[in-house]
Chains A and B, each alone.
Chain A
Amino acid sequence: MTDRQPVLQLERVSRVHGRGAAEVHALRAVDLAVAPGEFVAVMGPSGSGKSTLLTLAGGLDTPTEGRVLVEGRPLAGLSRKKLAEVRRRSIGYVFQDYNLIPALTAAENIALPRELDGVSARTARREALAALEELHIAELADRFPDDMSGGQQQRVAIARSLIGERRLVLADEPTGALDSGTGEEVLAVLRARCDAGAAAMMVTHEARHAAWADRVVFLRDGLLVDETGRQQPESLLVTGAGEAGAR
């Protein structure tokens, strides 16, 4: 695949909830790696383990078996404090409901994780403005979340998730609350961030959104059952055009 170290690695990861008769296998021996610059989408019906996968990848839960590594570091060996640090410094999160802090402007929301990193308020603000600029939403800098549309808030959330050294975005149905046009803009932003070197894992049940990813993996009953590889777009028009037309 790639000789670069994956940003996220799941090795034979299983998660069992409950015991005995009430035992539920949320994930069964899942292997998955996300390389720098790669955008992976996870699809599957509800109850297939998508959210569990994301929770484990983000270090918010620990696997019953197997290991999760972020930038080559196994999360299992870390102290609570270290784990919190990895979660905060290496991983960005994007949720369906944006999760911006209403009392802070867009720039302040983005700068906040950097200030928590220990960067000076001035530097953090400068970085936040640069991030907004990169996502072509510089004009939102001083707006509060309530004065932004859903799509704008989600773009700010993406900017926040990748501020500083963060290279891994975990996204849970990021376009779930958006109309199709706005959802597309948000995915284009996420796509562009990955093209610029970030790694993303996105959970979605919408094939149209998953299709922005380099690779789509399918989960069923906690098992990774299938995936699409990366293809060249030209392949479709050269060899598949007649096929598409015949349908």
Chain B
Amino acid sequence: MSIKHGLLALLDQGPSYGYQLRTEFEARTGATWPLNVGQVYTTLSRLERDGLVVPDGEDEEGHQVYAVTEKGRAELRTWFDTPVARTNPPRDELAIKLAMAVTVPGVDVHAVVQGQRRHSVKALQDYTRLKARALTAVGDEDSAGTDLAWLLVLDQLIFQTEAEVRWLDHCETRLANRKPPIRQAAAPARRVARTHGEER
């Protein structure tokens, strides 16, 4: 979905060919979501099929150039005007892992949380170093637009990772506040204890 609209947005700035579109896409998103040229060409042929782009001849090196159509521009405007849907949250491996960790006996949930926190904070440090560089680059006059686009993508990664760390902190507080589980040898008894003992 976003590749399609990403390409339309790039073509809205003038006709272009596949490889060039890929380079432009990555300049704006910092190769965070790498595209292969194959994906670009597949998407372009679908866009052409749907009448959103048209072939616009070849450049001097023989590259097939595409241009956006009026219908394509309308599609792009609709995309900008429509919020990105928040229904059906993507399956989150970490949430699933923690949900499992608190229910599977013998898992050190604190260790799982801390291991993830270290990993996520490291990622945050990396993103922040890249951001510090991008901030310097945005100060320069040339190509400020592209650097700004990359900076916004980095900010998003940073806020998302931060949210994950905050959520982990929160999980830990919840775990700390939880009453210690009542340990009983027999399995059925434990089930009873769980239903009554949880979240009091």
Q: B-contacting residues of A (Cβ < 8 Å)?
A: 43, 45, 184, 188, 191, 205-208, 210-214, 216, 218, 225-229, 231, 233, 235-237, 240-242, 244-245, 247
Main secondary structure of the interface of B (DSSP, over half): helix
A-B contacts, 24 of them at CB < 8 A, read A45-B169, A206-B162, A207-B124, A207-B165, A208-B124, A211-B121, A211-B124, A211-B128, A212-B128, A214-B125, A216-B125, A218-B118, A225-B114, A226-B117, A227-B118, A228-B122, A231-B126, A236-B123, A236-B130, A237-B130, A242-B34, A245-B33, A245-B34, A247-B90
Q: Which 8 A-B pairs have the closest CB atoms?
A: A211-B124, A207-B165, A236-B126, A233-B129, A211-B128, A245-B33, A208-B162, A228-B122
Asked if residues A236 and B114 are in contact (CB atoms below 8 Å), the reply is no
Q: Mostly helix, strand, loop or mixed at chain A's interface?
A: mixed
Closest chain B residue to A43 by CB distance?
A: B121
Q: How far is the CB of B172 from chain A (nearest CB, A)?
A: 7
Chain B interface size band reads 20 to 34
Quick check: B120 and A207 within 8 Å, CB to CB? Answer: yes
Report the Cα distance A188→B114, complex, angstroms: 27
Q: Which residues of B contact A218 (CB under 8 A)?
A: 114, 117-118
Cβ contact within 8 Å between B159 and A208: yes
Total inter-chain residue pairs, C-beta < 8 Å? 79
Cross-interface CB contact of B32 among A206, A214, A241, cutoff 8 Å:
A241
Contact assessment for A237 and B123 in the assembled complex, using a CB-CB cutoff below 8 Å: no
Contact of A226 with B114 in the complex, beta carbons under 8 Å = yes
Collect the chain B residues with CB atoms within 8 Å of residue A241's CB: 31-32, 34
| Min C-beta distance of B158 to chain A, whole Å | 6
Against A, the Cβ 8 Å flags (1 = close, 0 = not) of B41-73 are 000000000000000000000000000000000
B132 lies within 8 A of chain A by Cβ: yes
With both chains docked as a complex, state the minimum distance between the C-beta of B17 and any C-beta of chain A, in angstroms: 24
Q: In chain A, what residue has the closest Cβ to B92? A: A247
Given contacts A236-B127, A240-B123, contact A208 B118 (CB under 8 A): no
- Give 1 or 0 for each of B89-124: 1 = CB within 8 Å of chain A CB: 010000000000000000000000010011011111
CB contacts (< 8 Å) of A208 on chain B: these are: 124, 128, 158-159, 162
**Which of B31, B33, B118, B158 contacts A228, CB < 8 Å?**
B118
